[in-house]
Chains A and B, each alone.
Chain A
Amino acid sequence: MNLPSKWARMDWPLLLIALALSAIGLLNVYSGTRVHGVPGTALVTRQLIWILLGVGAFFAVYFLSDGFIEEVTNGFFIAVLLLLVVVLLAGRVRGGAQRWIAIGAFNFQPSEFAKIAVTLALARYFSTKYRYGGIGLKELLPAIGLALVPFLLVALQPDLGSAGVFIFILAGMAVVACVRWKVLAFFAAAGASAIPVLWFFMKEYQRQRVLTFMNPELDPLGAGYHVIQSKIAVGSGGIIGKGYLQGTQGSLRFLPEQHTDFAFAVFSEEWGFLGSLLLLVLFLLLVYRLFFLTVRSQDRFASFACGGIEVFFLTHIVINLAMVCGLFPVVGIPLPFVSYGGSSMLTGMMALGAVANLSRSRFTFQGAGGKSSEIAS
């Protein structure tokens, strides 16, 4: 496929939605990092650089030749696993967890890339195992193994929030890849019964978070503080919000992590219910576009990969928003494109780039009168 035709088959809605979200995120970082009325320009500049790098990554992945992604999937998966091991051995400790690898002035989180690697690896695995009538238990077990290894490595950091995302991706892709309902039900039951075991493996602070999530007023100045302050930020925004740069919860530092995981709290304090609604609509468009491409892709690997990435975004969006709204325990999961952070931005853009790349195949079988001549290339 030549370059002009790649341009022609480019899925622009996908990129435009991502850019719109990134622009909102950039404005929000500017507001969220301002302290006592002084904006934090340094982080805004960095976030802008991350957006540009992200767009670069998007196109870099997009322009990969057809089939290349599928070919390198296994290699990518193994490389990322190795990185996760490196993080555990030599990572930078921040906030009690080893999540970052420093490259120059930039820190990045391999766990973010691992989410994409796992998605692609699962897509590839499921695409080879797919059969009419659904996949059985035997075929599902290796897929579980694929998700379990990075899950354990990330959980060891410890970053249970990100680790949990692997489970969601696995579950979501199992649905798309037509694992039999019986098998899924069995695993759902098994998962539910595993919760007490999980509790046993949790660190004290993680248990505390879950407990205070149930009742934040239990410890208003400790573990419940995040949730309470975040709800105050969101709720005090009202219908139309306090206005851009007028939020107080963030700028007076009542909100912790106000530009990263709690970016939405800053946003909804300043833009209110209407702003929140706009953001939700954008996210819904993103998810819908990914669904659309999942269904339209002409190739099982592409279809499963799109579906997996749809689950990836959906998981991030829903968990992050639920957390900010006090519906989910506080876990370190960023809001795609809106939260400050390079790994999250690059991962998001690369994931969309991969979707755009893989979904080019949908034009192949568009039928008579269309661009079906491409089939020859």
Chain B
Amino acid sequence: MTGRIRKREQDPDITRRSRILLYVALAAFAFLLGRLYWLQVVESDRYRNLAENNRLRLRTVRAPRGLILDRKGRPIAETQGSYDLACTPVDVKDLEAEIGLLAEIVEFDVDNDEVLDKIRSAQRSNPYSSLTVARDLRFEQISVIEFNRENLPGFSVMVEAKRSYPYGTAFAHALGYVGEASPEEMERSEDGSLAMGDLIGKYGIERLMDNVLRGVNGGRKVEVDAAGRDQRLVEEVPYHAGGAVHTSLDADLQVTAQDALGNRAGAVIALAPRTGEVLAFYSGPAFDPNVFARGIRKADWQALNTDPRKPMQNKGLQGTYAPGSTIKPFLAMTALEEKMQETGKTVQCPGTYRLGNRVFRCWRPKGHGAVDMYRALVQSCDVYFYTLGLKLGPDRVAKLEKGAGLGTITGIDLPGERKGLVPDPEWKRTVSKEKWYDYESVILGIGQGALHLTPLEMAVGYAALATGGEVMRPRVVSKVVGKDGKVRTFPPEMLRKLPWNPENVEFIRKALAGVVNDYGTGGGAKLPGIVVGGKTGTAQVASVKGKMIKSEDLPYEIRDHAWFVAFAPVDDPQIVVAAMVEHGGHGGSAAAPIVKAVLQEFFRTRVAGPPGKGGA
């Protein structure tokens, strides 16, 4: 036994060498301790945050967007439940594979690449909150997704509030549409209340009234495991639904306006002349705002934007057109107010009007013979108004027209309004440094030349004619009920009252009634039992030299714009309707029936006050 023992104290080297190991151990432990100090003391807050982020997910519970109602309380924009596909970026394991799988199940409402990009950027910027990837899933899609749960970590089906527009395209340009808030919009939102994937109004009333309609999101703080599965509800904050917007729009009237315009391009606007309330506001062709609420596809968006008839343009307040003969009552009014021409004075119409070496045609080649102001309006005699235009000069005409709201911003409560142009020598000097020529005054008489107006301006102007000079600010929103229940109403707002002589007003009204009822150009808007007053307009888009060519025989793009603007009943105007059909041809044939349809619908449910008695 002892023989085995080799005396160790003879080997001092071994002790020395062993000590080296001990030093190595001490150094390693010191180093580890330093590392632990760094992680657990110095950087501890950072890791604590990371651990919380690991563990806690904020699941936004989106507040439903508030209702938009028509004047009878019918919802024209509402919120419905929709099964949406949501993604929590941090829980996604293999993004491309999962998106590939999903692409087979869900036809994405947005392009695949777009979804990939969106999730990728969220993985960097905001990986812990969920974002909506596809909306409005069908039942079969949901079941396939649920079946594939294991292969789709990070994706889940959630019930989300979806914007829906029961009247489809009818209210497109009035209501606008909603879309997901862009990163810039989220940044801009004052209180940071916008979450990823929140819908905000992008256009129309949806945009204008966004702060009323948008609710306050609630949320659930949930503890999840490493696979992203919910374990426990930590905290819950309830949401507050958005407020309601009451409009003055009438759904029946709106649908009638849409149907009457059909698939032609143009605008139909109906106003209550004494209050400025907008009863119908249709611009065609329109888009379906429901498509936007689901997340519009790139291709659809492109199609909308490249359509030559510009469905995304609100023709009612952004399109400007030469008014044609619809301007004539304003010239007549100017003449009467300025006492430049009496109603009874006649002008000879041989079918042409000569100024210097220029010849201007009347729409009726053989002429109207001797016409007074009444006849000239009823028959829309061009020669009469050439004479009047020259006689009045541009300044007088412009003053009255601008006063009535033409060529000015009307101040409607819809975004994006543009103003038309009522030209005068001052304007000409500024834009072209040229003087005003007489021929310009002549063609101004029949609503051609530089003059161009929006259909909305025309409706406001005719409301002034109908009411005897009351220029009201057009209003779509009549009342809002906020999230907090607070009610705010928008009373009628008179922009100005024009000091027109009632006799003159009376004459113009009568003449406009004659246009419809006294074998005039507006016979197409004649209604039984109700006296309608109005004026046709056919606005040249291109001047065709030489022979008169019928509008219908011209290529679409250079056909005339057709106008008809009317109010009724003449003795007690309750409604003004302006219809403009782009390249529609003659106002009497193309636009007047539209106005008639709207008036018919309006008076179907409303008893018109008997003449002279007033009401509404």
Contacts and interface: CB of A to CB of B under 8 A. Distances in A.
Contact of B5 (A237, A314, A361): A361
B2 A175 contact: no
A172 interface: yes
B18 A314 contact: no
Contact of A299 (B6, B22, B26): B6
Contact of B11 (A221, A236, A291, A300): A300
A348 to B, nearest CB: 17
B224 to A, nearest CB: 7
B129 to A, nearest CB: 18
Interface stretch (A12-20, A193-201, A303-311): A303-311
B18 A236 contact: no
Contact of B29 (A283, A304, A377): A283
A210 interface: no
Contact of A314 (B6, B14, B28, B39): B28
B7 A298 contact: yes
Contact of A298 (B8, B17, B33, B44): B8
Interface string B43-54: 110111011001
A325 to B, nearest CB: 5
- A268, A277, A325: which has the most chain B beta carbons within 10 Å? A325
B95 to A, nearest CB: 10
B167 to A, nearest CB: 47
Interface stretch (B225-233, B444-452, B460-468, B561-569): B225-233
Contacts of B11: 130, 132, 178, 300
Interface in B12-60: 13-15, 17-22, 24-26, 28-29, 32-33, 35-37, 39-41, 43-44, 46-48, 50-51, 54-55
A284 B503 CA distance: 111
Given A132-B11, A248-B51, A307-B21, A36 B225 contact: yes
B93 interface: yes
A232 interface: yes
A273 B41 contact: yes
Contacts of B548: none
A327 B48 CA distance: 20
A132 to B, nearest CB: 7
Contacts of A283: 29
B347 to A, nearest CB: 86
A252 B223 contact: yes
Interface string A240-277: 00000000110011100000000000001100110011
A276 B40 contact: yes
Contacts of B9: 298, 365
A178 B47 contact: no
What does DSSP make chain A's interface, helix, strand, loop or mixed? helix
A300 B18 contact: no
Contact of A236 (B6, B19, B48, B226): B48
Given A127-B6, A134-B13, A175-B17, A252 B22 contact: no
Contacts of B44: 235-239
B29 A280 contact: yes
Contacts of B50: 232, 235-236
Contact of A132 (B13, B39, B225, B227): B13
B8 A303 contact: yes
Chain A to chain B: the 7 pairs with minimum beta-carbon distance, closest first: A235-B47, A236-B51, A273-B40, A253-B226, A235-B39, A238-B44, A236-B47
28 contacts: A67-B1, A172-B21, A175-B21, A177-B17, A178-B11, A235-B48, A238-B40, A238-B44, A248-B51, A252-B223, A252-B224, A252-B225, A254-B225, A280-B33, A291-B18, A291-B22, A295-B15, A298-B8, A303-B18, A307-B21, A310-B21, A314-B21, A318-B28, A321-B32, A322-B35, A325-B39, A327-B35, A377-B1
